[in-house]
């Protein structure tokens, strides 16, 4: 027998079934006997089991996708828009490489037997240095390309880590970018670069600003949506 939560009501005139968050909910009139409700649930068992299976699979997927970044052996991080497993090995020196579905992190032998907290700290520092070096090259190339398209040129570019923004533009024409952009898809980085370049002309989020963004990056709404949907996945560890 399928387990369910029964909610009775004086106002209700019929029985209704609902599957929510992996739980079967039965809403029934106050006067209906429990035995009748059980028989009704039994008759609908095939439909309910299919619904439960679908929802349980969805809940497992959501739980997996909403885990924070885990910078440790058998952990994972995001790179170029994909969630990638961390493969940890030890050798003569620290290095990090992208291998398809995984990120290969190699630590020096001296870190093999240290406590996990120390090991995680070294991994975090290594990934951050890798992201920063990669972002400096990628973003510089994109700024150069889109500056020529927009005919808007920054006075300076800085790449560093920010807690709550992907990029910014100040009154002096300097553009700042978060090197954690290496976690997002390449086309989303394009949006962030175009967004900040457009601030060189409109230092606001006016209609004119968004029109300029759209003229040079028509997929801007899609990019904004991607960042919003994945913002919880991309929270960088503070420790």
* Three-class DSSP category at 166: coil
Length, in residues, of the chain: 239
DSSP state at residue 110? G
Taking residues 140-151, report their average pLDDT: 97
Asked if residue 195 lies in contact with residue 211, where contact means CB atoms within 8 angstroms, the answer is no
Give one word for 86, left, alpha or beta, with left for phi > 0 and alpha for psi -120 to 50: beta
Per-residue pLDDT reduced to its tens digit, 84-122:
999 999 999 999 999 888 999 999 999 988 888 889 999
* Per-residue confidence (pLDDT) for residue 21, from 0 to 100: 61
* Per-residue confidence (pLDDT) for residue 215, from 0 to 100: 96
Going by DSSP bridges, is the β-strand pair 102-108/82-91 parallel, antiparallel, or unpaired? parallel
Confidence tier at 73 by pLDDT (50, 70, 90): confident
Confidence tier at 59 by pLDDT (50, 70, 90): low
Considering 2-11, 157-166, 229-238, the range whose residues carry the highest mean pLDDT is 157-166
Per-residue pLDDT reduced to its tens digit, 115-143:
888 899 999 999 999 999 999 999 999 99
Residue 144 reports pLDDT greater than 90: yes
Q: Which domains does the chain have, with CATH numbers?
A: 5-65 (no CATH), 114-230 (3.30.2010.10)
Residue 63 reports pLDDT greater than 90: no
The angle formed by the CA atoms of residues 211, 214 and 217, to the nearest 5 degrees, is 155
* Per-residue confidence (pLDDT) for residue 162, from 0 to 100: 93
Asked if residue 78 lies in contact with residue 69, where contact means CB atoms within 8 angstroms, the answer is yes
Per-residue pLDDT reduced to its tens digit, 1-56:
688 889 999 889 999 998 876 678 899 999 999 999 999 989 988 998 888 888 77
Taking residues 134-158, report their average pLDDT: 97
């Amino acid at each position: 027998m399928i387990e369910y939560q029964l909610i009775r009501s004086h106002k209700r005139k019929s029985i209704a079934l609902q599957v929510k968050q992996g739980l079967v909910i039965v809403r029934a009139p106050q006067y209906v006997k429990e035995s009748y409700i059980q028989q009704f649930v039994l008759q609908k068992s095939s439909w309910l089991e299919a619904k439960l299976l679908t929802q349980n699979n969805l809940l497992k997927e959501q739980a997996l996708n909403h885990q924070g970044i885990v910078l440790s052996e058998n952990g994972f991080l995001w790179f170029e828009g994909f969630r990638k497993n961390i493969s940890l090995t030890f050798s003569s020196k620290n290095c990090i490489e992208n291998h398809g579905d995984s990120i290969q992190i190699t630590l020096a032998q001296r870190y093999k037997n240290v406590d996990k907290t120390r090991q995680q700290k070294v991994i975090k520092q290594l990934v951050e240095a890798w992201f920063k070096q990669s972002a400096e090259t990628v973003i510089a190339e994109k700024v150069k390309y889109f500056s020529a398209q927009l005919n808007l040129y920054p006075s300076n570019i800085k790449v560093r880590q920010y807690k709550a923004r992907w990029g910014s533009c100040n009154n002096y024409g300097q553009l700042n970018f978060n090197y954690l952009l290496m976690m997002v898809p390449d086309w989303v980085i394009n949006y962030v670069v175009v967004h900040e370049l457009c601030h060189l002309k409109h230092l606001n989020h006016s209609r004119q600003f968004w029109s300029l963004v759209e003229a040079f990056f028509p997929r801007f709404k899609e990019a904004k949506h991607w960042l919003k949907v994945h913002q919880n996945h991309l929270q960088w560890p503070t420790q």
